[in-house]
Amino acid sequence: MTVYLIRHGMTAGNLEKRYIGRTDEPLCEAGIRALGSLHYPVCSALVCSPMRRCTETAAILFPGQPYTVCEDLRECDFGRFEGKNYRELAGNRAYQEWIDSGGMLPFPEGESPAAFRARCVGAFRDVTAAHPECPSLALVVHGGTVMSILEALALPHRGYYDRMTENGHGWRCTWNGTHLMDPEAL
């Protein structure tokens, strides 16, 4: 199966480098314009995170194509960091502890990175299992979701931050039922 892992288009929070997880932000005008210049092939199945920024992106990139929503493909819950950027968090003790941990500590009143990554990988496995005969599958999700799936399942193996993805862009891979083979940036 050919799999496309696509990050949603740009939001106002993305422009301001904010931690936007559970906030259901729409695309901003610049994000909508940028998506208009991108083209992806029609896929046999289309699956989205439930967040508005993902469903709006899917409607632009795959006009008229029906999609299903997978709740567990949503972005991480950043807890008390939600909606803030690094400048606003400078001097925040909990934020500094999180930074010093290499991003491994749970977000205060939010989700742990390990639980988030496991949730995303489990959801990906569920989605692909639900489409066993599907020749091509597109997932319109979040940057963290894409990185989680690729870190765990892609060959050649890379670290979490090694496959950061710009808004509206993504990766094409071949899913063999166990691994995502030869990810190619789009």
Averaged pLDDT, groups of 10, the chain, 186 residues long: 98 97 97 96 97 98 97 97 96 95 94 97 98 96 98 96 96 98 96
Please choose, from the candidates 70, 50, 46, the residue with its C-alpha nearest in 3D space to the C-alpha of residue 58: 46
Percent of the chain with pLDDT over 90: 99
The continuous run of DSSP H or E covering 2 comes out as strand 2-7
Residues 108-131 have pLDDT tens digits of 999 999 999 999 999 999 999 999
Q: 184 and 4 in contact (C-beta within 8 Å)?
A: no
SS3 of residue 33 by DSSP: helix
SS3 of residue 70 by DSSP: coil
Residues 163-182 have pLDDT tens digits of 999 999 999 999 999 999 99
Domains of the chain: 2-185 (3.40.50.1240)
Please return the burial class of 63, using the count of CB atoms within 10 Å of its CB with bins 0-12, 13-18 and 19+. Answer: exposed
Strand 154-155 versus strand 45-48 pairing type: unpaired
Ramachandran area for residue 39 (φ above 0: left; ψ -120 to 50: alpha; else beta): beta
Percent of the chain with pLDDT over 70: 100
